Amino acid sequence: STYHVHHRVTQHFRKGRAFLIGDAAHIHSPAGGQGMNTGMQDAFNLGWKLADTVHGRGGDRLLDSYQDERHPIAAKVIDFTTRLTTLATVHGEIAIKLRNLALHLATGLAPVRRALSEQAEETGIAYRHSPIVGPRHWRSGVAPGDHAPLLPDGAAGDLTTDASGHIVLSLDADAAAAYGITAPAHVAIRPDGYVGAIEPDPDGITAYFAQLLGQS
C-alpha cells in the first residue's frame, strides 16, 4: 500500500482555556525522530506558565507566549522533516546515487554533523525573539531566550530560587565567562531551562519578574 505523510501545524496553540501540545498541535514525517522531542518541549514550555498563572502569578501575556515561542519551532520541525522525507524518497537510480554521495560528503564534515545533531535533538532551540524574555545588554555570548549553559562547579556565585520556579544567579567571573559575557551579571533562568533575563544590575531582574508575572 501507499503511505502518505501528513505535514500540518495548528494555527492557534491556545484558544481561551484550551491548549494544544505535541501531536495535537503539529504532525509531520517521522524522519529524524523529532515528534517526541517536540512534544516534550511543548510541555516543558507550557507547564511552568500554567503553574504560575494558577498560583496567581502571570496571566494572558504569559500564557500567550506559549504560542509565540513554540509555533515557530513546530514550523521549523515540519520544514526539516519534510526535507528529510524528500531526500529519503527520491526516485531513479541516478538521483539516488547523487543523494547518497551528497549525504556522504556532507556528513563527513564535523560542522554539518553537529548542526544535524542539534536540529534532530532540538538542543539548539532559542527564544530570543520571545515577548517575555529580557533585553540583550551584551553583544556576544549567551542572550535572553537561549538555553542556559552548564557552569563550572562552584562558579555560580549567589544562587536563589524564585517563587515562580526561576533560578536567579549572580555570576562570578568564571560563570560570566561561561556565558561569554563580563561580570557583574545577574541571570534569571526559567523553569524550562531557558534564560529569561541577563542584567548588569539586580534591579533589572526585579523588573523582569514584574513584567513577566503581570505585576507592572
| C-alpha span between 146 and 195 (Å, rounded) | 6
Distance of alpha carbon 73 from alpha carbon 65, whole angstroms: 13
Mean pLDDT of 156-185: 85
pLDDT at 115: 74
In 3D space, the residue among 23, 19, 131 whose CA is nearest the CA of residue 74 turns out to be 23
pLDDT band per the 50, 70, 90 thresholds, residue 45: very high
Give the pLDDT confidence score for residue 124 in this predicted structure.
80
Contact by Cβ (8 Å): 22, 39: yes
| C-alpha cell, 108 | 563527513
Mean pLDDT, range 89-97, rounded to an integer? 83
139 or 87, higher pLDDT: 139
Give the burial class of 166: count Cβ atoms within 10 A of its Cβ; 0-12 exposed, 13-18 middle, 19 or more buried: buried
Average pLDDT of the segment spanning 21-26: 91
The confidence score (pLDDT) of residue 180 equals: 94
In this prediction, residue 64 carries a pLDDT of: 95
* pLDDT above 90: residue 140: yes
What is the longest distance spanned by two Cα atoms in the chain?
Answer: 64
Indicate the length of the chain as a whole number.
Answer: 216
Burial of 39 (0-12, 13-18, 19+ CB in 10 A): middle
Whether pTM > 0.75 for this model: the answer is: yes
- For residue 161, pLDDT over 90 is answered with no
216 confidence band (pLDDT: 50, 70, 90): very low
Nearest to 53 by CA among 132, 129, 168: 132
**pLDDT level of residue 86 (50, 70, 90 thresholds):** confident
Distance CA 31, CA 77 (A): 10
For residue 22, CA distances in Å to 8, 28, 45, 52 come to: 12, 11, 12, 21
- Separation of alpha carbons 212 and 198, rounded Å: 14
First vs last C-alpha separation in the chain: 59
Among 63-67, 96-100, 190-194, name the one with the lowest average pLDDT: 96-100
Quote the DSSP letter at residue 29: -
Report the C-alpha gap between 172 and 2 in whole angstroms: 59
